Amino acid sequence: MLATAVTSYVAVRRAAGFGFRSPALALQSFARFSAARGESHIRAPIALEWAGLARSMSQRARRLGDVIRLARYLRAEDIRHEVPPPVFGSEKRSRPAPYILAPHQIRQLILAASRSGYRTLRRDTYSTFFALLACTGLRVSEAIRLRLDDLTPDGLVIRCSKFRKSRLVPLHDTARAGLERYLQRRLAYAPAEPQLFVSLRRKPLLIEDVEVAFRTAARAAGLPATLRARPTPHSLRHTFAVRALQACPDGRGAITRHMLALSTYLGHAKVADTYWYLEAVPELMTDIADRCERFVMGGRR
């Protein structure tokens, strides 16, 4: 009975637009766990026992949170379901500090990628791939999934990204020229593959391959890790967001419009995800302090 309820609940969440893959697998596991103990309804002690099997406290909190939301949903029609107490604390994990690259470091990284390994398409693939991330702020997964027909006269079409949203990302003339140079070699190498970026196997890139290529280029470029963060492919997206925020004009109305536009451009589900950079990056915190001081002292708003 509980397994059937889980199936119905997962269908409702997915119909509402959620991918819901990991929570669905977890709840199916919980349903089997409960059935093995002869339970057809959610029981708080069983839920705590099941969630407690996870290795870390954050994993336990996340598993229990999935059951709590399921219990609230099911209890609306059947009060025999019990809502467990959130004894493992908050599900939210603290976000790691972003690694922000200086302009010269981005140039060094792309140059290193263009010289990495043998003189094959791989050099062009990863130097172009990293350059595209740096100048558009795309997620790595979005860039990997780009198809040839996603490159349009108006820009790049990002289809069903992280939150099942599609959007259009405009391209600067220099970025378009770089992609077209890459495509001249790439189309001759793998003409039948519809993905924009391909590996030497003539297949779409794998995220593991991108991470290996980035680490190799980062070492060659001498990008240092810090106590707060280390460089990853996603650092290029973080850097784009921070530079865009630093270009924000003064004035409350202008800032609001700028933040909303940037949030939409980056494909954030909530504008709060964009505002997060303001508190996560020391340079932006310094900018905020400077502007506040000017405002207090009677300078520009």
Which of 72, 162, 201, 294 is catalytic? The answer is 162
Can 60 be counted among the known catalytic residues?
no
Can 268 be counted among the known catalytic residues?
yes
Can 238 be counted among the known catalytic residues?
no
Phi and psi dihedrals of 17, rounded to 5?
105, 0
CA dist list (Å): 286 to 23, 100, 246, 250, 256 = 39, 15, 11, 15, 19
Q: Which residue has the tokens 């792309």?
A: 110
Identify the bridge partners of residue 151 per DSSP, sorted by sequence position. 156
Can 277 be counted among the known catalytic residues?
yes
Which of 13, 122, 186, 268 is catalytic? The answer is 268
Which of 14, 234, 243, 258 is catalytic? The answer is 234
Can 176 be counted among the known catalytic residues?
no
Dist. CA 13–CA 18, nearest whole Å: 6
Dist. CA 301–CA 292, nearest whole Å: 8
Which of 9, 182, 265, 277 is catalytic? The answer is 277
Can 186 be counted among the known catalytic residues?
no
Beta-carbon contacts of residue 70 (< 8 Å; ≥ 6 apart): 5, 6, 9, 27, 30, 42
- Contact 175/135 with Cβ under 8 angstroms? yes
Which of 126, 237, 238, 265 is catalytic? The answer is 237
Which of 13, 139, 145, 186 is catalytic? The answer is 139
Smallest Cα–Cα separation from 28: which of 2, 47, 46, 55? 2
> What secondary structure letter does DSSP report for 169?
E
Report, as residue numbers or ranges, the catalytic residues. Answer: 139, 162, 234, 237, 268, 277
